[in-house]
Amino acid sequence: MKIDQGFTNRSNDLRRLKQRSSVLFLLVFLLIVVGLTKIIKLTVIDRQEYFTESEKNRIITIPIYPARGLIKLSSGEIVAENIVTHQLAVKKSLFDKSTNEIEDLKEMLSEDWVEIEKSNDEIINGYDEVILFSNLNSKQLAKYQVNKARWPSIYIKTQLRRFLPHKNVFSHVVGHLGEVTKEEARQDDDFIYQLSSYLGKVGLEKKYESKMRGERGIRTIEVDVYGNQIRELRRSFPKRPSNLFLSLNLSLQTLAREELSGRKGAIIAIDPNTGFIKALVSSPDYNPNVLNKTEKGSPYPKEQEKYAPFFNRAISGSYPPASTIKPFLGLLGLEEKVIEESTVIDDEGFFQINGEGRKYRGWKEEGHGKVNLNKAIVESSDVYFYELASKLTIDKISNFLSLFNFGKNTGIDLINESSSVLPNRNWKLGNIGEPWFVGDTVNMGIGQGYITVTPLQLATSVSAIATQGKIFRPRLVERIGDQLIEPELLFSIELNKKENWKSIEKSMISVISSWNGTAHNLYKEDGMTIAGKTGTAQIKSLVDQELTVQEEYEGIRKIETDRDHALFVSYGPLPNPNLTVVVIVENGESGSSVAAPIALKLIQKYQKEIFADV
Q: Catalytic residue positions?
A: 323
Q: Are 347 and 377 in contact (CB under 8 A)?
A: no
- Using rule CB under 8 A, residue 84 touches other proteins: no
Q: Closer to other proteins by CB, 19 or 125: give it.
A: 19
Tell the smallest beta-carbon distance from residue 297 to other proteins (Å).
48
The residues, ordered by sequence, that sit 6+ positions from 564 with a Cβ below 8 Å of its Cβ are 536, 537, 538, 539, 553, 557, 587, 588, 589, 590
Q: Closer to other proteins by CB, 232 or 305: give it.
A: 232
Task: Say how far apart CA 276 and CA 278 lie, in whole Å.
Answer: 6
- Using rule CB under 8 A, residue 142 touches other proteins: no
Q: Which of 18, 97, 296, 359 binds other proteins (CB under 8 A)?
A: 18
Tell the smallest beta-carbon distance from residue 46 to other proteins (Å).
5
- Using rule CB under 8 A, residue 43 touches other proteins: yes
Contact range with other proteins by CB under 8 A, out of 54-62, 264-272, 313-321, 544-552: 54-62
Q: Closer to other proteins by CB, 16 or 498: give it.
A: 16
- Using rule CB under 8 A, residue 15 touches other proteins: no
Q: Which of 8, 11, 17, 235 binds other proteins (CB under 8 A)?
A: 17
- Using rule CB under 8 A, residue 20 touches other proteins: yes
- Using rule CB under 8 A, residue 612 touches other proteins: no
Q: Closer to other proteins by CB, 47 or 497: give it.
A: 47
Cis amide bond preceding 577, omega within 30: no
- Using rule CB under 8 A, residue 35 touches other proteins: yes
Contact range with other proteins by CB under 8 A, out of 223-231, 241-249, 339-347, 417-425: 223-231
Q: Which of 40, 528, 559, 610 binds other proteins (CB under 8 A)?
A: 40
The residues, ordered by sequence, that sit 6+ positions from 298 with a Cβ below 8 Å of its Cβ are 290
Binding-residue total with other proteins (CB under 8 A)? 38
Question: Please, is 360 exposed, middle or buried when counting C-beta atoms within 10 Å of its C-beta (0-12, 13-18, 19+)?
Answer: buried
- Using rule CB under 8 A, residue 611 touches other proteins: no
Instruction: Name the strands in the sheet holding 565-574, side by side, starting at the edge strand that comes first in the sequence.
Output: 277-283, 265-270, 579-585, 565-574, 529-537
- Helix (H) / strand (E) containing 333: helix 326-335
CA atoms within 13 A on the CB side of 215: 5
Tell the smallest beta-carbon distance from residue 16 to other proteins (Å).
6
Helices 326-335 and 455-466 meet at what angle, rounded to 10? 40
Tell the smallest beta-carbon distance from residue 94 to other proteins (Å).
16
- Using rule CB under 8 A, residue 545 touches other proteins: no
- Using rule CB under 8 A, residue 7 touches other proteins: no
Q: Which of 21, 220, 492, 521 binds other proteins (CB under 8 A)?
A: 21
- Using rule CB under 8 A, residue 230 touches other proteins: yes
Q: Which of 225, 484, 543, 612 binds other proteins (CB under 8 A)?
A: 225
Long-range contact pairs involving 541-545 (C-beta distance under 8 Å, separation at least 24): 542/361, 545/358, 545/359
Question: Please, is 547 exposed, middle or buried when counting C-beta atoms within 10 Å of its C-beta (0-12, 13-18, 19+)?
Answer: middle
Q: Which of 8, 26, 33, 50 binds other proteins (CB under 8 A)?
A: 50
Long-range contact pairs involving 121-129 (C-beta distance under 8 Å, separation at least 24): 123/90, 123/92, 123/95, 123/97, 124/92, 127/92, 127/195, 127/196, 128/91, 128/92, 128/93, 128/195, 129/89, 129/90, 129/91, 129/92, 129/157, 129/195, 129/196
Task: Say how far apart CA 444 and CA 434 lie, in whole Å.
Answer: 16
DSSP class per residue in 18-66:
HHHHHHHHHHHHHHHHHHHHHHHIIIIISHHHHHHHHHHHHEEEEEEPP
Q: Closer to other proteins by CB, 21 or 529: give it.
A: 21
Task: Say how far apart CA 449 and CA 422 lie, in whole Å.
Answer: 10
Q: Closer to other proteins by CB, 55 or 346: give it.
A: 55
Distance, C-alpha 493 to centroid of its chain: 29
Alpha helices in 148-266 (DSSP H): 171-174, 182-187, 203-207, 209-212, 250-260
- Using rule CB under 8 A, residue 1 touches other proteins: no
Q: Which of 8, 11, 26, 42 binds other proteins (CB under 8 A)?
A: 42
- Using rule CB under 8 A, residue 58 touches other proteins: yes
Q: Which of 8, 11, 26, 28 binds other proteins (CB under 8 A)?
A: 28
- Using rule CB under 8 A, residue 49 touches other proteins: yes
Q: Closer to other proteins by CB, 14 or 559: give it.
A: 14
SS3 category, 134: strand
Q: Which of 44, 84, 149, 614 binds other proteins (CB under 8 A)?
A: 44
- Helix (H) / strand (E) containing 605: helix 596-613
- Using rule CB under 8 A, residue 395 touches other proteins: no
Q: Closer to other proteins by CB, 47 or 150: give it.
A: 47
Q: Are 102 and 114 in contact (CB under 8 A)?
A: no
- Using rule CB under 8 A, residue 39 touches other proteins: yes
Bridge partners of 565, per DSSP, are 537
- Using rule CB under 8 A, residue 432 touches other proteins: no
- Using rule CB under 8 A, residue 222 touches other proteins: yes
Q: Closer to other proteins by CB, 226 or 611: give it.
A: 226
Query: Which parts of this chain interact with other proteins (CB under 8 A)?
Result: 9-10, 13-14, 16-18, 20-21, 23-24, 28, 31-32, 34-35, 38-40, 42-44, 46-47, 49-51, 53-55, 57-58, 222-226, 230
